[in-house]
Structure 1
Amino acid sequence: MKSKVLAALVATMAVGATCAFAANPFVDVPSDSWAYKSVVELADAGIIQGVDGEHFQGQRNITRYEAAEMVAKAMAHMDKASVEQRALINKLADEFADELNNLGVRVSALENRVGNVKLTGDARVRYRYQKDSKENDASWDYRVRLRANAMVNKNTKVTYGISTGNHAFSDNGAAEDENDILSDIAKVDYNFGGGDWTLSVGRTDKYVIGGSKGYGYNYGDIFDRAELKYSGDSFMATAGYGKFKAAGLAGGDFTYKDKDYSLDGTKTAYGIIEGRFGNGTAIGGYYNTFDNDDYNALVRGTELDYLWGAYASFNFGKDWNLLGNYERVNYNSNINSTVRGDEDSATVWVGRLTYGKAVMATPNTWDAWVEYLNAEDGAYIGGSTNSWRWGKLDNLESWGAGIDYTFAKNAQFQVMQSFASKVKDGDGSDPEEQTRAQFVFAF
């Protein structure tokens, strides 16, 4: 990039000038130059410093590292920038992300600038197939989500998002007729205590039982909560209370006397602790206690009591990760055998081995994985899950495999397939295998 072109660009980025009549620091920039005012303002703001502090050398080609250094200094003045200037700096930071990282400047620091509003989103087109499944009538579906992130001050961040939810292409426009776009995230995060403590209040779109490192066998969806989190270099602890806002739990949606009921609104108190080690390795445990007495009063025998689990995620070699997750669900002792069987607890084991890492922002990155699932009857409490699988997921032993490939920046293709699936207990027939493929786009 030539310096003259960059001068035209950074003319819009003059965000930190303190004096419009500051002295010209460069002997080779004449006062009648078209770029004179912008060069002086940027020098006065500390964004540019010339070649040797005395010469600007406006006709010289500059390196990407020199351009990245200017962007880094502009980032430091984001609090003084206009909306248009912030948008331009965001674009430049994305362009020079690698150079900025090498200079020790995290592009994510843009999110910590007061007054910065960042719009993001994603879109997914998905195919799911299982022989003889009622889902096959709606095998193709789509979802679009939009996000707005705003810094109120240096410690407070507000996030709001909307989602179409999952809609089958076979609906023939039903999504538009139903007008069912929903607010799936609306929260305030307050950071204090030197940056290690965060209080988050409101709705999140990605609460996962088991935390970010766990497999997410039972739940990973919309959740209203208040949560306090400590996150250090070697230790993380989270405590919170809230209620589920998507799908059902403890049996899922239920029809009783020709009326449909759901456990939407079931409350839970939860805690997570995690030890962190070098190279991204982590070991953690979690606990949830449930309050769904209203539903239990209607249909006796489906009341959840509590759930606990433990996980370990090991990175080894250059590109390998091994995840192991154990989880146990407990029900009240008055459980109705016609609903859940005679057991009052159930466990699940999940293991996944992954090679590589598909990064949405980096084209031609990929990963491949294989997993093993062994779940007792009653281990799956219903509702949404962070797993790629769907339908009845308990009383099941199954293997799965998949590939994720980023074929262009912010565009990824993912494919998953189950195999060797069988019923663990009872005389029922083994489940049909599941196939899932999807395109995911981020913007």
Structure 2
Amino acid sequence: MKSKVLAALVATMAVGATCAFAANPFVDVPSDSWAYKSVVELADAGIIQGVDGEHFQGQRNITRYEAAEMVAKAMAHMDKASVEQRALINKLADEFADELNNLGVRVSALENRVGNVKLTGDARVRYRYQKDSKENDNSWDYRVRLRANAMVNKNTKVTYGISTGNHAFSDNGAAEDENDILSDIAKVDYNFGGGDWTLSVGRTDKYVIGGSKGYGYNYGDIFDRAELKYSGDSFMATAGYGKFKAAGLAGGDFTYKNEDYSLDGTKTAYGVIEGRFGNGTAIGGYYNTFDNDDYNALVRGTELDYLWGAYASFNFGKDWNLLGNYERVNYNSNINSTVRGDEDSATVWIGRLTYGKAVMATPKTWDAWVEYLNAEDGAYIGGSTNSWRWGKLDNLESWGAGIDYTFAKNAQFQVMQSFASKVKDGDGSDPEEQTRAQFVFAF
């Protein structure tokens, strides 16, 4: 893009350069040039500096980083722009999102403007296969989600989202019969304390047991909660209380010894602390205590008490990341397992090594990973796991590998495969390997 074209675009944004008598700082922009007024106003506003402070060089092709720098400076004047002009800045920011992030400019700052509502969404088409599994009749499924983000004032943000959930293509008549569109996000976030503190109340679509960097072995789905979070450059701490809304931990109607029970979702109080050491490296720990004695006693035959874990995510070299996660689940009584006897706890170890980074907004980016899972019987508590795996995930030792590839902007293909899976303890047969592949589209 020629610099004079970008300058003309930015000049339409009413970015606050209003001084009609500002001096022309560039010796190569004559006063009779068609772009003279726009160039002088943009220079006066600090949006452009030219090449060396004296020359504008309007015919020179600029780099994407130079364009991103101009957009970033235009973003700083968003409060003086009209609705149409803000929309233009938003489009430019989306175009140069990766460059802005590399320059340290948070594109999400666009959302923090009062009166600005941003609509986003994603769609996923997924295939899952495991030999001899009853789920193979429903191997293909889809999910569509929509999100709306709105700023009430400079500190308060409202987010609402809906989802179709996962629906199998094999369900005859499903498109006509399904009326189960659900609200998976409905929350208010209030930012205070100079931007480091956030109070969030309501429903979130993805609460991960294990914090922002944890693997999410036990749960990573819909969750109603009130949460207070401090997030600084080198330290993060979170405390909250909430209720699980998906899978076994959400409870449901249940009949036991001819008695009908309507079991509500399991509740949890939780805390997370995380140290950050630059370049994305983080070390953290987390703790959850659980409350739903009826569900635990009736469904599991024991009472789930608490869970704690620790994780470390290391970035090294230019493109490598290593994640390690340990988790321990404790019960008020023994697990009642024929494999592990009267033990009242179970642990899981998870490691993942990743090379590269597949960015949805950047075509031809990719990553590849390999992971190791070693889980004792009772380690998995029946939640909607954040893992790509499905089914029974405890009393298991297994490896997995996968590739993520962005084949077009906002369009990604992902494939995952388990291997060398075996029962950890006991005489049971080893599980069949799992295959998963999916297309994900963001909009």
Q: Same fold (TM over 0.5)?
A: yes
- Given that 2:339 and 2:377 are in contact with CA atoms closer than 8 Å, whether structure 1 keeps it comes out as no
- Judge which range, 304-313 or 146-155, deviates more: 146-155
Residues 109-129 of structure 1: CA deviation (Å, up to 9, x unaligned) = 323333322222111111000
2:334 corresponding residue in structure 1: 334
- Given that 2:334 and 2:343 are in contact with CA atoms closer than 8 Å, whether structure 1 keeps it comes out as no
- Given that 1:301 and 1:339 are in contact with CA atoms closer than 8 Å, whether structure 2 keeps it comes out as no
2:317 corresponding residue in structure 1: 317
Shift of 1:69: 4.2
Shift of 1:227: 0.9
Q: How does 1:294-443 map to 2 (within 5 A)?
A: 294-296=294-296, 301-333=301-333, 342-443=342-443
Shift of 1:392: 0.7
Question: In 1, Cα distance between the equivalents of 2:240 and 2:298?
Answer: 27
Shift of 1:178: 2.1
Measured at CA, do residues 257 and 30 of structure 1 come closer, stay the same or move farther in structure 2, by a change above 3 Å?
farther
Question: In 2, Cα distance between the equivalents of 1:85 and 1:99?
Answer: 21
Residues 64-102 of structure 1: CA deviation (Å, up to 9, x unaligned) = 555444422321121233333222111111223355456
Shift of 1:326: 1.2
Shift of 1:433: 0.8
Measured at CA, do residues 54 and 327 of structure 1 come closer, stay the same or move farther in structure 2, by a change above 3 Å?
closer
Measured at CA, do residues 96 and 134 of structure 1 come closer, stay the same or move farther in structure 2, by a change above 3 Å?
same
Question: In 2, Cα distance between the equivalents of 1:12 and 1:258?
Answer: 72
Measured at CA, do residues 250 and 335 of structure 1 come closer, stay the same or move farther in structure 2, by a change above 3 Å?
farther
- Judge which range, 54-63 or 397-406, deviates more: 54-63
Shift of 1:409: 1.8
2:40 corresponding residue in structure 1: 40
Query: TM-score normalized by structure 2?
Result: 0.86
Measured at CA, do residues 259 and 439 of structure 1 come closer, stay the same or move farther in structure 2, by a change above 3 Å?
farther
Measured at CA, do residues 215 and 152 of structure 1 come closer, stay the same or move farther in structure 2, by a change above 3 Å?
same
Question: In 2, Cα distance between the equivalents of 1:143 and 1:341?
Answer: 41
- Judge which range, 339-348 or 370-379, deviates more: 339-348
Shift of 1:143: 0.8
Measured at CA, do residues 300 and 70 of structure 1 come closer, stay the same or move farther in structure 2, by a change above 3 Å?
closer
Shift of 1:148: 1.5
Measured at CA, do residues 264 and 8 of structure 1 come closer, stay the same or move farther in structure 2, by a change above 3 Å?
farther
Residues 164-210 of structure 1: CA deviation (Å, up to 9, x unaligned) = 11111111341542211111111122222222222111111110111
Shift of 1:107: 2.5
Shift of 1:388: 0.5
Measured at CA, do residues 394 and 101 of structure 1 come closer, stay the same or move farther in structure 2, by a change above 3 Å?
closer
- Given that 2:205 and 2:222 are in contact with CA atoms closer than 8 Å, whether structure 1 keeps it comes out as yes
Residues 375-425 of structure 1: CA deviation (Å, up to 9, x unaligned) = 111110002001110001111111111111111222111111111111122
Measured at CA, do residues 28 and 182 of structure 1 come closer, stay the same or move farther in structure 2, by a change above 3 Å?
same
- Given that 1:249 and 1:263 are in contact with CA atoms closer than 8 Å, whether structure 2 keeps it comes out as no
Residues 22-48 of structure 1: CA deviation (Å, up to 9, x unaligned) = 999999999999989977876786656
1:253 corresponding residue in structure 2: 253
- Judge which range, 52-61 or 386-395, deviates more: 52-61
Shift of 1:303: 2.2
SS across alignment from 1:125: strand
Measured at CA, do residues 312 and 134 of structure 1 come closer, stay the same or move farther in structure 2, by a change above 3 Å?
same
Measured at CA, do residues 339 and 162 of structure 1 come closer, stay the same or move farther in structure 2, by a change above 3 Å?
farther
Measured at CA, do residues 267 and 338 of structure 1 come closer, stay the same or move farther in structure 2, by a change above 3 Å?
farther
Measured at CA, do residues 251 and 396 of structure 1 come closer, stay the same or move farther in structure 2, by a change above 3 Å?
farther
- Judge which range, 222-231 or 272-281, deviates more: 272-281
Measured at CA, do residues 56 and 422 of structure 1 come closer, stay the same or move farther in structure 2, by a change above 3 Å?
closer
Measured at CA, do residues 244 and 63 of structure 1 come closer, stay the same or move farther in structure 2, by a change above 3 Å?
closer
- Judge which range, 405-414 or 17-26, deviates more: 17-26
Measured at CA, do residues 398 and 27 of structure 1 come closer, stay the same or move farther in structure 2, by a change above 3 Å?
closer
Measured at CA, do residues 28 and 212 of structure 1 come closer, stay the same or move farther in structure 2, by a change above 3 Å?
closer
- Given that 1:399 and 1:420 are in contact with CA atoms closer than 8 Å, whether structure 2 keeps it comes out as yes
- Which segments of 5 or more consecutive residues in structure 1 lack a partner in the other structure? none
- Given that 2:47 and 2:74 are in contact with CA atoms closer than 8 Å, whether structure 1 keeps it comes out as yes
Measured at CA, do residues 274 and 232 of structure 1 come closer, stay the same or move farther in structure 2, by a change above 3 Å?
same
Measured at CA, do residues 238 and 44 of structure 1 come closer, stay the same or move farther in structure 2, by a change above 3 Å?
same
Measured at CA, do residues 54 and 185 of structure 1 come closer, stay the same or move farther in structure 2, by a change above 3 Å?
same
What is the alpha-carbon root mean square deviation over aligned residues? 3.6
- Given that 2:311 and 2:324 are in contact with CA atoms closer than 8 Å, whether structure 1 keeps it comes out as yes
Shift of 1:438: 0.7
Shift of 1:296: 4.4
Measured at CA, do residues 283 and 30 of structure 1 come closer, stay the same or move farther in structure 2, by a change above 3 Å?
closer
- Judge which range, 399-408 or 92-101, deviates more: 92-101
- Given that 2:30 and 2:36 are in contact with CA atoms closer than 8 Å, whether structure 1 keeps it comes out as yes
- Judge which range, 225-234 or 295-304, deviates more: 295-304
1:11 corresponding residue in structure 2: 11
SS across alignment from 1:278: coil
Measured at CA, do residues 53 and 362 of structure 1 come closer, stay the same or move farther in structure 2, by a change above 3 Å?
closer
Measured at CA, do residues 295 and 414 of structure 1 come closer, stay the same or move farther in structure 2, by a change above 3 Å?
same
- Given that 2:187 and 2:204 are in contact with CA atoms closer than 8 Å, whether structure 1 keeps it comes out as yes
- Given that 2:10 and 2:74 are in contact with CA atoms closer than 8 Å, whether structure 1 keeps it comes out as no
SS across alignment from 1:358: coil
Measured at CA, do residues 97 and 339 of structure 1 come closer, stay the same or move farther in structure 2, by a change above 3 Å?
same
- Judge which range, 31-40 or 212-221, deviates more: 31-40
Measured at CA, do residues 356 and 25 of structure 1 come closer, stay the same or move farther in structure 2, by a change above 3 Å?
closer
Query: TM-score normalized by structure 1?
Result: 0.86
- Given that 1:285 and 1:311 are in contact with CA atoms closer than 8 Å, whether structure 2 keeps it comes out as yes
Measured at CA, do residues 252 and 359 of structure 1 come closer, stay the same or move farther in structure 2, by a change above 3 Å?
farther
Measured at CA, do residues 176 and 235 of structure 1 come closer, stay the same or move farther in structure 2, by a change above 3 Å?
farther
Measured at CA, do residues 8 and 185 of structure 1 come closer, stay the same or move farther in structure 2, by a change above 3 Å?
same
- Given that 2:14 and 2:80 are in contact with CA atoms closer than 8 Å, whether structure 1 keeps it comes out as no
- Judge which range, 334-343 or 357-366, deviates more: 334-343
Question: In 2, Cα distance between the equivalents of 1:151 and 1:187?
Answer: 12
